[in-house]
């Protein structure tokens, strides 16, 4: 694990250091609590070597200097997913002083399934019963006192979105530290409890020196958990043998696999607890419920889904254009930002760096950031889940499932953060396919080429046609990829959490996480790449490149010979195709290029990937898979361009 666990930016405090971890299901307001507690003192990164987000923050309270870790939202501690593995290892190896288990009051039973597992792990625990307001709206009341007694751990009720109970929560958590509390396990019923006791007794007797609590290890062995079996197996074959006998007996007795027996038992406990502490009365349908019904309606559901995506795009372009103009004006005040390719080499290079930066600020930021803000709001409110629900069968047509709609829509802003966010997909195969689909999504820069070359000089109809062609190509190519990549689609399991008002802090954080990849990955490539290509051009080295590529550009794509340079520039920044075309041919590009050439140039420019996309692909998927994607895209661009050049020649006679 990372060495910087105790790193504090505000190291001048004399307070005692504590590490507190937040753990719980997804969508229970864990991040809201984290944000409430840490404010802006956060570091968001990845778990070392994993694609799982790690959020850490600090706060000073009551003389304590607290390091707060927001663990990924999970439903269980089996090693089904990377998130679960990360959580399990963190708890075992880094041993936080206290774990705050955030529990969604509206979905108590499912949440308790996870709580019971934390109790099995025998960690210092405080239960935070959050989203009490949502539960109340649903007619649910929970006797938190009773719950506290049953669980034997402190329970604090909170409404994180308003900050209610947060102060008390942190005080309770601090209170747990250092007080030697008698932590009672929660007993299973009959045979399972007997087996667990027998096995954990053996583990204790053999003094195996495991990092995990013996009771938890015993339960995991009964379940047949492969990681734990390996861990214990390296120390004691006796225990493994006993565990095998016991779990076989359980299987024979219950006629189910042992992990099913244990999971059923845990849920039976959770169900019993809910029965004891919760009362539910029927309430009238709220406005949110009605909206929910509408959003998943057989007909109106589609209308809502398309409306949501449409709204997102309209908002992005309206706000984006406004901001983009504003920023461009501000920057052209300092220096002209058009690409410079002659004069002193240093000037050309500086112009490249500056131009790359300005392009990032005036082109990517104004469109992409408002887009992310809106998208994060839609995500947090729950409406995107409904879109994924409605779009699932359509997405199946290309071999992906409904959840892929979220990264795909993100790709309309910029492909780079979209590819990062394919994490929500279940398997590597699905992530890869979603990423491949994203590389075809017409991002903000591609839109500029289509608008600048085609809409301006050929007609808006042809520009729209290019979008349609782009999407059709995506469907066809991804369909082929689905067949080519071994494995099959895992089914979608998605929680439909209730609609809620989006939380400002969650939206801000989500937007920041996504924008960060722009600044760390896209900006440097923009700046260095632009400087390099401009420098190379100024040195006159592009002549041979043009000539070398002319068999492709002139012979196959029927473009002017200068297109070689345009496409090289476009690899760095897509909109440079347009800017360089203006620099080479003058502002009336249509005087030098025929409509067919304009369309072909835009089409090719839209399909092949830019360097930043290639960079993020390599970062997320390694070289081999990335080259396959980049190769497929580039090949597709060449084929489609050549075919289009010939087909369009017939239309434009």
Summarize as ranges the residues that interact with another protein (CB under 8 A).
75-76, 78, 80, 106-110, 113, 251, 255-257, 259-260, 263-264, 267, 270-271, 274, 296, 298, 301, 385, 388-390, 392-394, 396, 401-402, 488-498
Q: How far is it, in rounded angstroms, from Cα 261 to Cα 246?
A: 12
Nearer to another protein, 40 or 255 (CB): 255
Length of the chain: 653
Nearer to another protein, 192 or 579 (CB): 192
Nearer to another protein, 497 or 574 (CB): 497
Query: Is residue 337 a contact partner of residue 354, using CB atoms and an 8 Å limit?
Result: yes
Smallest distance, another protein to C-beta of residue 265, A: 9
Collapsing DSSP states into helix, strand and coil, what is residue 31? helix
Smallest distance, another protein to C-beta of residue 286, A: 15
Crossing angle (nearest 10°) for helices 190-205 and 258-277: 110
Three-state SS string over 405-440 comes to HHHHHHCCCCHHHHHHHHHHCCCHHHHHHHHHHHCC
Closest residue by Cα to residue 631 from 424, 523, 481: 481
Nearer to another protein, 114 or 537 (CB): 114
Smallest distance, another protein to C-beta of residue 309, A: 17
Q: Tokens for 515? A: 């924008």
Contacts of residue 39, defined as CB under 8 A and 6 or more positions apart, other chains included, come to 57, 59
Smallest distance, another protein to C-beta of residue 100, A: 21
List phi, psi (to 5°) of 161: -60, -25
Nearer to another protein, 338 or 495 (CB): 495
Smallest distance, another protein to C-beta of residue 495, A: 6
Smallest distance, another protein to C-beta of residue 41, A: 33
Nearer to another protein, 72 or 560 (CB): 72
Smallest distance, another protein to C-beta of residue 444, A: 31
Smallest distance, another protein to C-beta of residue 80, A: 5
Nearer to another protein, 58 or 196 (CB): 196
Query: Is residue 353 a contact partner of residue 346, using CB atoms and an 8 Å limit?
Result: no
Smallest distance, another protein to C-beta of residue 151, A: 18
Return the sign of the alpha-carbon dihedral for residues 314, 316, 317, 320. positive
Nearer to another protein, 78 or 597 (CB): 78
Nearer to another protein, 108 or 231 (CB): 108
Smallest distance, another protein to C-beta of residue 384, A: 12
How far CA 599 is from CA of 29, 179, 462, 573, 648, in Å, comes to 48, 72, 8, 19, 9
Nearer to another protein, 49 or 491 (CB): 491
Crossing angle (nearest 10°) for helices 108-120 and 214-223: 120
Nearer to another protein, 402 or 442 (CB): 402
DSSP 241: H
DSSP 159: B
Smallest distance, another protein to C-beta of residue 280, A: 8
Three-state SS string over 202-227 comes to HHHHCCCCCCCCHHHHHHHHHHCCHH
List phi, psi (to 5°) of 216: -65, -45
Three-state SS string over 312-369 comes to HHHHHHHHHHHHHHHHHHHHHCCCCCCCCCCCCHHHHHHHHHHHHHHHHHHHHHHHHH
């Amino acid at each position: 694990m990372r060495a910087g666990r105790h790193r504090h930016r505000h190291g001048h405090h004399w307070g005692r250091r504590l590490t507190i971890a937040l753990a719980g299901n997804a969508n229970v307001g864990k991040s809201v609590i984290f944000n409430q507690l840490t404010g802006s003192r956060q570091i968001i990164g990845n778990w070392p070597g994993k694609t799982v987000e790690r959020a850490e923050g600090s706060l000073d309270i009551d003389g304590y200097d607290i390091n707060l870790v927001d663990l990924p939202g999970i439903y269980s501690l089996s090693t089904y997913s990377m998130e679960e593995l990360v959580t399990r290892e963190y708890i075992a190896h880094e041993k936080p002083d206290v774990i705050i288990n955030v529990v969604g009051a509206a979905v108590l039973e499912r949440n308790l399934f996870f709580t019971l597992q934390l109790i099995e792990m025998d960690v210092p625990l405080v239960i935070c019963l959050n989203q009490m307001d949502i539960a109340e709206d649903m007619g649910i009341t929970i006797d938190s006192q009773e719950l506290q007694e049953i669980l034997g751990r402190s329970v604090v009720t909170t409404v994180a979105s308003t900050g209610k109970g947060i102060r008390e929560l942190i005080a309770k958590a601090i209170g747990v530290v250092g007080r030697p509390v008698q932590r009672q396990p929660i007993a299973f019923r009959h045979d399972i409890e007997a087996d667990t006791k027998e096995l954990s007794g053996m583990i204790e007797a053999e003094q195996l020196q495991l990092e995990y609590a013996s009771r938890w290890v015993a339960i995991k062995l009964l379940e047949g958990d492969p990681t734990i079996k390996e861990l214990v197996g390296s120390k004691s074959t006796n225990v493994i043998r006993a565990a095998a006998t016991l779990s076989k007996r359980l299987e024979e007795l219950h006629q189910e696999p042992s992990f099913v027996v244990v999971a059923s038992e845990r849920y039976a406990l959770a169900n019993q607890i809910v029965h004891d502490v919760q009362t539910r009365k029927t309430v009238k349908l709220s406005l949110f419920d009605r909206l929910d019904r509408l959003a998943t309606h057989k007909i109106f559901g589609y209308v809502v889904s398309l409306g949501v995506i449409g709204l997102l795009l309209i908002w992005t372009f309206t706000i984006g254009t406004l901001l983009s103009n504003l920023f461009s004006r501000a920057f052209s005040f300092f220096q002209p930002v058009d690409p410079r390719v002659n004069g002193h080499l240093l000037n050309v290079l500086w112009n490249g760096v500056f131009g790359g930066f300005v392009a990032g600020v005036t082109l990517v930021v104004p469109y992409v950031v408002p887009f992310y803000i809106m998208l994060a709001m839609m995500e947090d409110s729950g409406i995107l889940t409904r879109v994924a629900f409605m779009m699932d069968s359509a997405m199946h047509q290309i071999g992906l499932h409904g959840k892929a709609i979220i990264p795909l829509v993100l790709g309309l802003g910029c492909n780079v953060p979209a590819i990062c966010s394919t994490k929500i997909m279940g398997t590597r195969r699905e992530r890869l396919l979603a990423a491949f689909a994203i590389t075809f999504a017409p991002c903000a820069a591609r839109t500029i080429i289509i608008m600048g070359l085609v809409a301006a000089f050929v007609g808006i109809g042809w520009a729209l046609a290019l979008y349609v062609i782009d999407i059709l190509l995506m469907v066809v190519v991804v369909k082929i990829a689905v067949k080519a990549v071994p494995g099959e689609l895992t089914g979608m399991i998605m929680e439909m959490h209730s609609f809620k008002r989006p939380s400002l802090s969650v939206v801000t954080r989500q937007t920041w996480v996504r924008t960060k990849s722009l600044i760390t990955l896209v900006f440097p490539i923009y700046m260095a790449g632009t400087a390099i290509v401009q420098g190379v051009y100024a040195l006159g080295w592009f002549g041979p490149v043009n000539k070398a590529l002319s068999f492709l550009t002139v012979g196959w794509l029927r473009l002017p010979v200068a297109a070689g340079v345009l496409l090289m520039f476009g690899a760095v920044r897509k909109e440079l195709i347009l800017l360089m075309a203006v620099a080479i041919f003058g502002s009336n590009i249509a005087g030098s290029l025929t409509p067919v050439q304009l369309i072909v140039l835009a089409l090719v420019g839209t399909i092949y990937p830019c360097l930043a996309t290639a960079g993020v692909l390599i970062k997320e998927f390694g070289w081999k898979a990335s080259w396959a994607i980049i190769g497929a895209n580039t090949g597709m661009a060449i084929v489609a361009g050549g075919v289009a050049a010939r087909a369009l020649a017939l239309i434009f006679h």
